[in-house]
Amino acid sequence: MISTPDRQRAIALIEEARAQGARLEAACRELGITARTYQRWTRGGELHEDQRPLVGRPVPANALTPAEEQEILDVCHRPEYASLPPEQIVLVKS
């Protein structure tokens, strides 16, 4: 994921290269992006920020509840298990 300041810098570099006669594809290739990525970033004549970090994510069906997570931590912190790696604790408990 490319940060907004890095996108702004990339767009400025590409626009500078194009002003000096470079083709869009060649300028984008130098920065390691595709021309399509550049087009998405500049759609409508303005910079578009990455919206992926802002999207709500569903909780997985197999996610631990806070109580289950705390129970696991309590077991792992017991003196008899404190020095064991998790895979050995699982073997001892089963």
Distance of CA 50 to the CA centre of its chain: 10
Mean pLDDT of the chain: 86
pLDDT of residue 92: 58
Domains in the chain: boundaries = 4-51, 64-94
For the chain, residues with pLDDT lower than 50 are: 94
**Residue 72: closest CA among 48, 41, 44, 93:** 93
Residues 19-46 pLDDT 10s: 999 999 999 999 999 999 999 888 877 7
DSSP-assigned letter for residue 48: -
